[in-house]
Amino acid sequence: MKLSKSRGPDKAPQFWRDDALPFIEARAIADGREVCYTRHSHEHFSIGAITAGRSTYIHEQSQWEVGAGTVVLMNPGDVHACNPIDNQPWSYLMLYVDSAWLTDLQHQLGFSDDLAFRRFATTHSQDEGLFTGLKDLYEVLVDQQQDVMGKHSAAVEFFSDVQLRLNPAEPPLREPNFKLERAADFIREHCTQVLKLEDICEAAQLSPSYLIRAFKQHYGMTPHAFLVNRRIQFAQDQLRNGKLIADVALEAGFADQAHFQRAFKQHLAATPGQYRG
């Protein structure tokens, strides 16, 4: 995982990327007055959120003034630019997504039967759920204490929501519950190991997009949340037996003690030390 700043002051661009998630990259600009774009395009799909101020958004032959709360979308190859208005402050977040990965997700959701990328007709939106979801995903991606499965799951969940909000006609969930139960059993049995989303999908014979939506609908939490919850249950057993907190953190599958402490407190409103007594 890499979060980097370009040389210069704190308002310089910040980039995030992770070799374990090669299909997505993130960028944050705190002061948009410092960057001006000529008309350009990308091979990948781009989606961004204006987080403060206002700017000019050019998309193909059209131009709009967009402000905080707006989400902008660019299909692969769309010519676009976003620039400051009269040197007014503005800031934004951007996500760049591999087109093949997004096309596969569309296919999982029942779109693009011919396996071609289904272009978005929407150029920008003030959908509050979309805006909040993008910001939340960015925070998950740059969180150094969040594991790869959590980031991958959050990306699948958000971009599935993007599809269903902007390219509607959601297909029905037809898979029988025993496949979801197989997924849950697999998580329980391997909760202390480093799990990937692909591991659970393979065990349950489900696509990532279906697994995340249907699992949450069935169990009330995503597969990743279910995994963390199971790890906390495992940790409780170990702590009751008097094991050292640092040892329990590693045995339960957490990356480090700080991550374990945070998750434990979120689940039990108490620290591991308070719980062990």
Nearest in space to 31 (alpha carbons), one of 8, 52, 58, 2: 52
More confident of the two residues 36 and 61: 61
Predicted TM-score (pTM) of the model is 0.80
Domain 2-166 homologous superfamily, CATH: Jelly Rolls (2.60.120.10)
Tens digits of residue pLDDT in 243-252:
999 999 999 9
What is the average pLDDT across 54-71?
89
Strands 90-97 and 24-29: antiparallel
Q: What is the mean pLDDT of the chain?
A: 87
Residue 34 has pLDDT above 90, yes or no: no
Nearest in space to 28 (alpha carbons), one of 48, 43, 8, 2: 48
Tens digits of residue pLDDT in 70-123:
999 999 988 888 877 888 888 899 999 999 999 999 888 887 666 788 889 999
DSSP one-letter string for 3-60: EEE-SSSTTS-EEEE-TT-TTEEEEEES-GGG----SB--SSEEEEEEEEEEEEEEET
Domain boundaries defined on the chain: 2-166, 173-277
Tokens in use for 82? Answer: 């976003």
Q: Is 130 helix (H, G, I), strand (E, B) or coil?
A: helix
Q: Which residues pair with 97 in a beta bridge?
A: 24, 45
* Sign of the four-CA dihedral 238, 239, 243, 249: positive
Written out in words, the top-level CATH class of the domain with range 173-277 is mainly alpha
What is the average pLDDT across 253-259?
91
Which of 54-63, 83-92, 123-132, 167-176 shows the lowest mean pLDDT across its residues? 167-176
Only one residue has tokens 């960028």, namely 27
What is the average pLDDT across 135-160?
95
* pLDDT at 177 (0 to 100): 79
Note whether 2-166 and 173-277 share their fold. no
